[in-house]
Amino acid sequence: MAEREWILLNPGPANTTPSVRAALVMPDLCHREPECFDMMRRCRENLVRLAGAGADWTAVLFTGSGTAAVEAAICAAVPADGTLVVVNNGVYGDRMLRIARAHGIPTVAVAGDIFAPIGAADVEAALVAHPRATHVAVVHHETTTGLLNPVADIARAAARHGRRLVVDAMSSLFGETLDVAQDGIDFVTASANKCLQGIPGVSFVLARRTALDAVRGRPPRSVYLDLHAHFASQEQDNTPFTPAVQVLHAMEQALVELAREGLAQRIARYAENARVLREGLSQRPVLLYSDALTALAAAERARDLRAELEALTRSITSHGRLVGLRPEPVGRRLVLELTFTTGDAIGINMAAQAAELVAEMVVGVPASTTPPWASGLTRRSQRAAPPIAGRAPGR
């Protein structure tokens, strides 16, 4: 029986090729063997080369999600007496703010609407008002909306005032145009599983070598995420901790495939995919910021729907257990399958209400007025095992 192929419509992880997935199946290899260090060095060198960073830059690998690389860069970049200006106009800008605060780093938030890029003038005003600020943290591509912040303009503004940038390019590096080596930028973070089209589990920091020299000798704010310790160890073909060897092997294959396709060609392919998708979604409001991601603009009722659904799922736990929710296209119909274990009629009714709320969130209109392309939304409830009281839905 042939393995089922999924087309992922989430903003990451991205679809991978069969050859990238096959690279996970390799002979056992100890992370202290020279073959492993050779692989790590090839990955680091190819990341720098394909990003167009040049000899003044290096790559530092981490086993962890993209947030691990972001946290490592923030922890290392800002000195003990410094302040971090954070561009906060989305979920991941807010996460950078929370990371800094968790480590006791003084912060200044330049906040804005989640649907509007932050202007460089706003960042520059914050730098002028806060002379102790040493760095600016900015998300290039806000994965939640596809919004692109003007990193180049912000970097120029920071450079004019002698400040440096930490850029979260998680879902834009290798998918959007980004001059990582631009003056003003010191650190760029990303992961294997976005536009590189690798497997989740490895992230990395592209770092200017002079910026790494500047943090040498500082007391680290983290043990596992000590950027300079990882850099110094990897430069000596070593590693301070056990890396995800098989995931690195798959990442190396993804880098080979990116080099074969060409960076400009990959960006163009994403742009063409975005054009085709948006043409097909022409009847729905779409947020047009990035070719790496297309976000549907939710109706005004979206926030209310989300609140209703959250309240409903909390109530459901007293009558049954929400097992799973899966939207699945069937032909030209969209089937929303809500798996619910219930013990009474009230629970069955709540499950049906939850399904209709989700239908409205996904389709954009109440299920009672289903559009032609989503016809056939069906309510299916099933009595099953007794309820498990007090258990909240999984995340």
Lowest mean pLDDT among 165-174, 342-351, 364-373, 378-387: 378-387
Question: Taking 70 as the threshold, does the pLDDT of residue 385 lie above it?
Answer: no
Report field, pTM of the whole predicted structure over 0.85: no
How far does CA 310 lie from the centroid of its chain?
Answer: 23
Mean pLDDT calculated for residue range 4-14: 79
Question: Taking 80 as the threshold, does the pLDDT of residue 205 lie above it?
Answer: yes
Residue whose entry in the numeric block shows the structure tokens 């396709």 = 261
pLDDT of 369? 41
Question: Taking 70 as the threshold, does the pLDDT of residue 362 lie above it?
Answer: no
Selection from 372, 314, 316, 363 nearest residue 340 by Cα: 316
Lowest mean pLDDT among 19-33, 251-265, 312-326: 312-326
Given pLDDT bands bounded at 50, 70 and 90, which one contains residue 290? confident
Question: Taking 50 as the threshold, does the pLDDT of residue 222 lie above it?
Answer: yes
Single-letter amino acid code for the residue at 88: N
Please give the domain boundaries of the chain with CATH numbers for all domains: 18-260 (3.40.640.10), 302-374 (3.30.70)
Given pLDDT bands bounded at 50, 70 and 90, which one contains residue 275? confident
Selected residue with higher pLDDT from 249 and 366: 249
- Dihedral sign for Cα 243, 244, 245, 250, please: negative
Selection from 136, 146, 134, 135 nearest residue 170 by Cα: 146
Given pLDDT bands bounded at 50, 70 and 90, which one contains residue 278? confident
Angle at 334 between CA 278 and CA 395, to 5 degrees: 90
Question: Taking 70 as the threshold, does the pLDDT of residue 86 lie above it?
Answer: yes
Mean pLDDT calculated for residue range 73-99: 97
How far apart CA 305 and CA 298 sit, in angstroms, is 10
Contact predicate 136/160, CB 8 Å: no
Residues with Cβ within 8 Å of residue 334, at least 6 apart in sequence: 327, 328, 362, 363, 373, 374, 377
Mean pLDDT of the chain: 82
Contact predicate 198/16, CB 8 Å: yes
Paired strand residues for 184: none
Question: Taking 50 as the threshold, does the pLDDT of residue 365 lie above it?
Answer: no
Q: What share of the chain is helix, strand, coil (3-state, %, to 5)?
A: 40, 20, 40
Selected residue with higher pLDDT from 153 and 296: 153
Mean pLDDT calculated for residue range 47-67: 97
Question: Taking 70 as the threshold, does the pLDDT of residue 121 lie above it?
Answer: yes
Question: Taking 60 as the threshold, does the pLDDT of residue 360 lie above it?
Answer: no
How far apart CA 141 and CA 139 sit, in angstroms, is 6
Given pLDDT bands bounded at 50, 70 and 90, which one contains residue 297? low
pLDDT of 381? 37
Contact predicate 157/188, CB 8 Å: no
Single-letter amino acid code for the residue at 119: G
Mean pLDDT calculated for residue range 14-37: 94
Question: Taking 50 as the threshold, does the pLDDT of residue 243 lie above it?
Answer: yes
- Percentage, residues of the chain above pLDDT 90: 64
DSSP per residue, 302-365? HHHHHHHHHHHHHHHTTTEEEEEEEEEEETTEEEEEEEEEESSHHHHHHHHHHHHHHHHHHHSS
Q: Where are the beta strands (DSSP E) in the chain?
A: 57-63, 83-88, 107-111, 133-139, 141-142, 147-148, 164-168, 185-191, 202-208, 286-287, 295-296, 320-330, 333-342
Selected residue with higher pLDDT from 207 and 387: 207
